[in-house]
């Protein structure tokens, strides 16, 4: 099968093909992924404002590069939430399985959470494509 070949650890795209040529160094682990299409970007959408204590749903789509893609594969995306002070809220972080490259990340800011501008940072786990969303929490 011909595929788009990605070096997952380095976040590099090696092009389309059936094989990869390179040097395997002793003691250095390599991790490659083959996808039926190139990944263009991570798209995400969420309401611009929410109230503390109510769930926020972030809709995520890993967008392929190209017009019509018949075969969409599963993807993994890492979601990390930052409060208004730009500190990571660790217990909200998740690695999401997105069947067919689509899915939702849902979390609920606590009733006593700090109001202000929160940031949701998304990273596609094969190539490292990233997207940030800002949400005003009241």
Q: pLDDT (tens digit, 9 = 90+) per residue, 36-68? A: 888 888 999 999 999 999 999 999 999 887 655
**Residues 36/123, Cβ–Cβ less than 8 Å:** no
| Domain extents in the chain | 38-137
Provide mean pLDDT across the span 19-34: 86
If pLDDT is split at 50, 70 and 90, which confidence band does 34 have?
A: confident
What was the pLDDT predicted at 93? 96
Token pair listed for 75 = 């993807």
Note the pLDDT tens digit of each residue in 62-113.
988 765 555 678 899 999 999 999 999 999 999 999 998 899 999 999 999 9
pTM here is 0.85
**Residues 133/46, Cβ–Cβ less than 8 Å:** yes
The CATH number corresponding to 38-137 among 3.40.630.40, 2.60.120.200, 2.60.40.1930, 3.30.420.10 equals 2.60.40.1930
Instruction: Enumerate helices (H) and strands (E) in the chain, giving the number of each.
Output: 0, 11
Please report, for residues 28, 32, 81, 82, 95, the alpha-carbon distance to residue 108 in angstroms, rounded to integers and kept in the order given: 40, 35, 11, 13, 17
């Amino acid at each position: 099968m011909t595929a788009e070949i990605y070096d997952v650890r380095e976040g590099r795209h090696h092009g389309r093909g059936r094989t990869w040529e390179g040097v395997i160094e002793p003691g250095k682990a390599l991790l490659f992924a083959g996808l039926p299409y190139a990944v263009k970007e991570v798209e995400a959408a969420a309401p611009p404002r929410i109230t503390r204590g109510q769930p926020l749903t972030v809709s995520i789509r890993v967008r392929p590069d190209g017009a019509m893609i018949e075969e969409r594969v599963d993807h993994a995306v890492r979601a990390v939430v930052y409060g208004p002070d730009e500190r990571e809220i660790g217990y909200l972080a998740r690695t999401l399985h997105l069947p067919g490259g689509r899915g939702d990340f849902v979390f609920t800011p606590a009733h006593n959470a700090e109001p202000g501008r929160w940031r949701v940072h998304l990273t596609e786990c094969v190539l490292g494509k990233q997207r940030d969303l800002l949400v005003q929490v009241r």
